[in-house]
């Protein structure tokens, strides 16, 4: 093409790249350097405390001593908070930026009462340990904007924190969260109640982010993935300036933040991926038009690029790992390691041993267990409750068509029962449950055969699993499946869709460790080459009905599957295994090499940070 000033364009491009890199250096210096006069401002806070102390001695008014004394440090509040966290004499939780009115007070920094009382020593430490290389403590920032959600992803988050606090006390952990309406103490309490993990406020704090709403998928009516990606960049910048970390860990899946962290903070990046935000399967399944395909391919290109900025990549299952190896194949395929989510199988098996004969013999097993399948899944369409009900209707009406079961040649006994034990998050989920109940009625299934128990407490849910023969999961491409591991650990025989985590990691062998099924409605059904190997769900129901109705030899097959599952999940998916794998693949490289390497690079780039 003539007339195109290529030299000028190329020159401008390199100037932009240079300016971006140089501005990033300036930003990094600003992010980690202390403001002038910061110690004077802290002295003023202490002086107010001294005045209150004198007033208390004179008037006997102790209420002033507990009064919040804070100064607005503006955009430098993050580095002041960092300095206090590294030197405080009290719990790090005291230096969270939680305020009921978080939008207006996020830049305010005060001194905790204990630090005010020991201010002379604190002041000395602040001046001594101000440089990046001086303090022996380090701050790990964990990016999890929905940390209070209480799902499987959050269980991974809290187990990581609990383990680091126990084994690596030199690290202070800051959770970047958008749960503005929940106090730090309430989050910690919920973690203990729901997951049983006891977190230590001495080395834990929460950094509240005000921009989380922009990464919510419901905020973007069009171009949702792109909108979430761009919003995550902004949310990440907010995280960094509110508290600059020494290590950045993303446990929720916001990969576009990695570029920002590397560019502006220049610290090690650890990624724990539950599932890829976009995959080749999605691109192949998309038949909605060329424009959308082009849009998705652009996102895939960007997604592949951010792999360059990840130091350690962890995935939660073989299915996810296979996809991430393809997506990040040219960047860090050797860095992708599988660490299965912590499923607390040790505790589940221990509780089962306390409540019943363990391992049970055939007679005890039949007596202890109901001929029932429990479905533990949130009431969302992707969990495919509708498919379960439709397939159950087919199974039930076929079973009841004749007085004699055509499959077994004997009189039909009691049909398999279903129990839906899911959680409802809002009115939309409650409406979905009503829709499912109506569907059951329309398909002429007796109401006593399918039961709904919504929002069961954890002990009651475990009780239902311990008293049931089967656990059912119908989701297509469930990336892992913590609920399925809990089925097995509680002695339930898993009936699961033959895809992703259940197929590759948990059940694996059909009829030996559980029962697989597929369905013509699966998005990849016509692409599968193993369709003939699996039954439909209705046929799987009929199969277990046949086993249950015939002689004790076939019932013993089910009992054997139940009994041998405990040891398998105990070794593979326990909390101890998670801790061991996390040490080997994450903490050891961080402690021995990566964290110090980045720190030295930062000091080399800005020597002033050594003593500021």
pLDDT of res. 1:
45
pLDDT digits (tens, 9 = 90+) for 381-415: 999 999 999 999 999 999 887 545 444 444 456 89
Same domain, 121 and 218: no
Quote the CA–CA distance of 517 and 534 in Å, as a whole number. Answer: 5
Helix, strand or coil for residue 511? Answer: coil
Query: Are 482 and 155 contacting, i.e. CB atoms less than 8 angstroms apart?
Result: yes
Same domain, 230 and 355: no
pLDDT digits (tens, 9 = 90+) for 436-459: 999 999 999 998 999 999 888 888
Residue 472, token pair as written in the block: 């059912």
Query: Are 147 and 186 contacting, i.e. CB atoms less than 8 angstroms apart?
Result: no
Same domain, 406 and 522: yes
The answer to whether residue 587 scores a pLDDT higher than 50 is yes
Please state, as a whole number, how many other Cβ atoms lie within 10 Å of the Cβ of residue 578.
21
The answer to whether residue 283 scores a pLDDT higher than 80 is no
Same domain, 290 and 353: no
Same domain, 207 and 317: yes
pLDDT of res. 65:
46
Quote the CA–CA distance of 340 and 343 in Å, as a whole number. Answer: 8
Last residue of a domain, one of 107, 130, 153: 130
Residues in the chain: 612
Query: Are 449 and 415 contacting, i.e. CB atoms less than 8 angstroms apart?
Result: yes
Name beta bridge partners: 249.
142, 270
Quote the CA–CA distance of 419 and 416 in Å, as a whole number. Answer: 10
For the chain, the domain total comes to: 4
pLDDT of res. 334:
59
Same domain, 120 and 172: no
pLDDT digits (tens, 9 = 90+) for 228-278: 888 899 899 999 989 999 999 999 999 999 998 988 888 999 999 998 988
Q: Please identify which residue in the block is written with the tokens 């809002």.
A: 426
Residue 496 has φ and ψ, to the nearest 5°, of -140, 160
Quote the CA–CA distance of 176 and 153 in Å, as a whole number. Answer: 15
Name beta bridge partners: 517.
497, 535
Cα 110 to the chain's mean position, in Å? 32
The answer to whether residue 144 scores a pLDDT higher than 70 is yes
| CATH number of the domain where residue 242 is located | 3.40.50.2000
Quote the CA–CA distance of 489 and 95 in Å, as a whole number. Answer: 40
In angstroms, how far is the first alpha carbon of the chain from the final one?
A: 54
Same domain, 350 and 434: yes
pLDDT of res. 68:
57
User: Domain range holding 69?
Assistant: 33-130
Query: Are 518 and 498 contacting, i.e. CB atoms less than 8 angstroms apart?
Result: yes
CA atoms in the 13 A half-sphere facing the CB of 261: 33
Strand ranges (E), 178-297: 204-208, 247-250, 269-273
Same domain, 172 and 252: yes
Query: Are 456 and 483 contacting, i.e. CB atoms less than 8 angstroms apart?
Result: no
Quote the CA–CA distance of 300 and 307 in Å, as a whole number. Answer: 11
% residues pLDDT > 70 (the chain): 83
pLDDT of res. 456:
84
Same domain, 319 and 454: no
Query: Are 73 and 38 contacting, i.e. CB atoms less than 8 angstroms apart?
Result: yes
pLDDT of res. 31:
78
Same domain, 586 and 538: no
Quote the CA–CA distance of 161 and 445 in Å, as a whole number. Answer: 46
Query: Are 229 and 260 contacting, i.e. CB atoms less than 8 angstroms apart?
Result: no
Same domain, 42 and 116: yes
Same domain, 319 and 360: no
Quote the CA–CA distance of 486 and 498 in Å, as a whole number. Answer: 18
Q: State which of 104-108, 127-131, 456-460, 570-574 shows the largest mean pLDDT.
A: 570-574
Q: How confident is the model at residue 602 (pLDDT cuts 50, 70, 90)?
A: low
Please state, as a whole number, how many other Cβ atoms lie within 10 Å of the Cβ of residue 39.
15
In order of 72, 92, 271, 296, 471, the CA distances from 465 in angstroms are 53, 39, 33, 41, 8
pLDDT digits (tens, 9 = 90+) for 50-102: 887 776 655 544 444 445 577 888 888 899 999 999 999 999 999 998 877 64
What predicted TM-score, i.e. pTM, was given to this entire model?
Answer: 0.84
């Amino acid at each position: 093409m003539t007339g195109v000033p290529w030299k000028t364009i190329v020159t401008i491009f390199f100037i932009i790249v240079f300016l971006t890199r140089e501005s990033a250096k300036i930003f990094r210096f600003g992010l980690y350097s202390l403001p002038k006069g910061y110690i004077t401002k802290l002295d003023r806070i202490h002086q107010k405390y001294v005045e209150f102390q004198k007033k208390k001695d004179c008037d006997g008014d102790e209420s002033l001593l507990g009064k919040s004394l804070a100064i607005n440090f503006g955009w430098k509040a993050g580095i002041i908070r960092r300095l206090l966290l590294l030197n405080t004499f009290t719990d790090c939780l005291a230096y969270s930026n939680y305020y009921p009115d978080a939008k207006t007070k996020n830049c305010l920094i005060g001194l905790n009462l204990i630090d005010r009382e020991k201010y002379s020593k604190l002041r000395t430490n602040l001046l001594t340990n101000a440089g990046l290389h001086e303090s022996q403590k380090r701050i790990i920032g964990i990016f999890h904007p929905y940390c209070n959600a209480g799902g499987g992803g959050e269980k991974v988050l809290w187990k990581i924190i609990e383990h680091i606090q126990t084994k690596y006390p030199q690290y202070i952990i800051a959770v970047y969260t958008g749960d503005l309406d929940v106090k730090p103490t309430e989050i910690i309490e919920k973690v203990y109640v729901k997951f049983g993990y006891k977190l230590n406020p001495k080395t834990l704090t929460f950094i509240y982010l005000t921009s989380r709403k922009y990464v919510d998928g419901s905020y973007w009516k069009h171009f949702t993935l792109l909108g979430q990606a761009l919003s995550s960049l902004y949310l990440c910048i907010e995280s960094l300036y509110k508290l600059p970390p020494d290590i950045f860990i993303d446990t929720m899946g916001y990969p576009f933040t990695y570029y920002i962290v590397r560019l502006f903070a220049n610290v090690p990046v650890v990624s724990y991926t539950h599932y890829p935000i976009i995959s080749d399967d999605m691109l192949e399944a998309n038949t909605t038009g060329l424009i959308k395909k082009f849009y998705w391919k652009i996102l895939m290109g960007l997604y592949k690029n951010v792999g360059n900025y990840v130091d350690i990549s962890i995935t939660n299952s073989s299915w996810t790992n296979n996809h991430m190896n393809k997506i990040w194949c040219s960047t860090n395929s050797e860095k992708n390691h599988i660490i299965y989510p912590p499923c607390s199988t040790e505790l589940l098996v221990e509780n089962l041993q306390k409540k019943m004969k363990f391992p049970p013999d055939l007679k005890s097993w039949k007596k202890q267990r109901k001929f029932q399948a429990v479905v533990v899944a949130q009431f969302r369409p992707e969990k495919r409750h509708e498919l379960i009900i439709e397939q159950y209707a087919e199974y039930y009406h076929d079973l009841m068509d004749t007085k004699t079961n055509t499959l077994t040649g004997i009189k039909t006994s009691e049909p398999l029962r279903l129990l839906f034990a899911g959680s409802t998050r809002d009115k939309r989920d409650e409406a979905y449950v009503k829709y499912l109940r109506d569907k059951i009625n329309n398909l002429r299934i007796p109401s006593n055969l399918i039961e709904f128990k919504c929002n069961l407490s954890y002990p009651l849910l475990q009780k239902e699993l311990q008293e049931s023969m089967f656990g059912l999961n119908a989701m297509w491409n469930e990336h892992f499946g913590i609920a399925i591991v809990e089925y097995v650990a509680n002695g339930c025989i898993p009936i699961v869709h033959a895809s992703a985590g259940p197929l590759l990691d948990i059940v694996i062998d059909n009829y030996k460790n559980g029962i697989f099924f597929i369905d013509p409605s699966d998005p990849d059904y016509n692409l599968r080459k193993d369709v003939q190997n699996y039954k439909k769900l209705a046929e799987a129901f009929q199969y277990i009905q046949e086993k249950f109705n015939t002689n004790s030899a076939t019932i013993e097959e089910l009992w054997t599957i139940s009994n041998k599952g405990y040891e398998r999940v105990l070794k593979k998916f326990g909390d101890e295994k998670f801790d061991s794998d996390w040490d080997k693949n994450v903490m050891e490289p961080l402690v021995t090499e990566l964290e110090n390497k980045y720190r030295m690079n930062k000091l080399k780039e800005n020597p002033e940070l050594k003593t500021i």
